[in-house]
Amino acid sequence: MGREQSRSPVGQIWSRSSSTVKISSILKKQSQEQVSKYNCTSGEKSTKINIKLNKSKKVLERQVCNKCNTCSADFTSRNFQIKMRTHRQRPPKCSVCDKCLPRKDSLKRHTRIHTGERPYKCSVCAKGFSEKHSLKRHMRIHTGEHPYKCSVCDKDFSEKHSLKRHMRIHTGEHPFKCSICDKGFSEKDSLKIHMRIHTGEHPHKCSVCDKGFSQKGNLKIHMRIHTGECPYKCSICHKGFSENGSLKIHMRIHTGEHPFKCSICDKGFSRKGSLNRHVRIHTGEHPYKCSVCDKGFNHKDSLKIHMRIHTGERPFKCTICDKGFSQIGSLNKHMRIHTGELPCKCSICDKGFSHKGNLNRHMMFHTGEHPCKCSICDKGFSCEGDLKVHMRIHTGERPYKCSICDKSFSHKGNLNQHMRMHHGEHTKKSI
């Protein structure tokens, strides 16, 4: 009876599977044969036989699988009893967001999201963390530990998921696809940021001018416009920049590096954007159109400046005479009138000019060059502006009108000279 009772729990487990029943019948038969063969109930042999039989039972008990009727998962007999308790007990639920967690310790960690509790403190910088493993990862910043190595380029990382992302550079894997344009990304966050191009979402707002940005990093860089912060300094001229990329491009002025080459004329550029704009000279492309006069431009900034002609906007003011300009470059040139600065020198006669364009026109007097030809009389001019004025002789155009006598002139200088006559007449009459 004692032997039958010890087998009965195992017998209940075997009855759950047809394969295990077959094994149990074989083992029963073997045990009966062994008991009949060795009748001695005491001594060394009897003990060995009992140990072997007990071991067989234990091995069999570990291998037997139970199927849970609730979740259809397979478990061993011991784990099955533990699993059934999880079905009988209600899973822990967060009292704030109603999220269900598998265990009480998981709920405790989750609750820290709502409470802001950070019990694990860094002994170096005192930064707090909600979980112990997060602190462990953080400590690698201070220790410089990078336990995860790339098998291709030997680059090391402090976190396993950083290595996983890095490996996609070598494999070219882009598992995260845009549902609109099908562009692939190696990281989920990159896809999320990309989607804002399609949605037009700009969640990061400037607290000063309310301008929106799709990325937090771009907002951070933008804020330096308001603060005037320029953390990136040139080691040669000590000029400061708000972005590291801007400093890198600036350094090419000193090094003379022009890595971006035009495939048509082989001209080099320090910036890729400058090359793209230059190529439009060859293609004749003007993708940016004025909504008022339909004039085309090869660069967006050129269109923006042009629009000020229509709006009359002159945002750049002279601090001395308060004259306004549509471009900052025009203001800088104007300031030389007040300062008397003539930085552009002629290499032949040493004459100085405030503008480079004026120097170029002056050089044509020495060279005798007249590249701008009149299409009617074939007369040549050193600059396009002079040709434009000359064309009024043929067209009869007189755009400059006198506000007093309504007389018109083809040259602005002629109008100014004419106005002095009126002022002189008025002066005589007043006398």
Distance CA 61, CA 56 (A): 8
Distance CA 207, CA 219 (A): 10
Distance CA 16, CA 305 (A): 83
pLDDT at 213: 92
pLDDT at 59: 44
The list of the chain residues with pLDDT below 50 reads: 1-22, 34-63, 426-431
Distance CA 106, CA 335 (A): 68
pLDDT at 159: 86
* Amino acid symbol at 281: I
346 — alpha (psi -120 to 50), left (phi > 0) or beta?
Answer: beta
pLDDT at 49: 43
pLDDT at 53: 45
Cβ–Cβ under 8 Å, residues 336 and 354 = yes
Global pTM exceeds 0.85: no
pLDDT at 14: 38
* Bridge partners of residue 288, in order along the sequence: 297
**Which phi and psi (to 5°) does residue 121 adopt?**
-105, 140
pLDDT at 430: 38
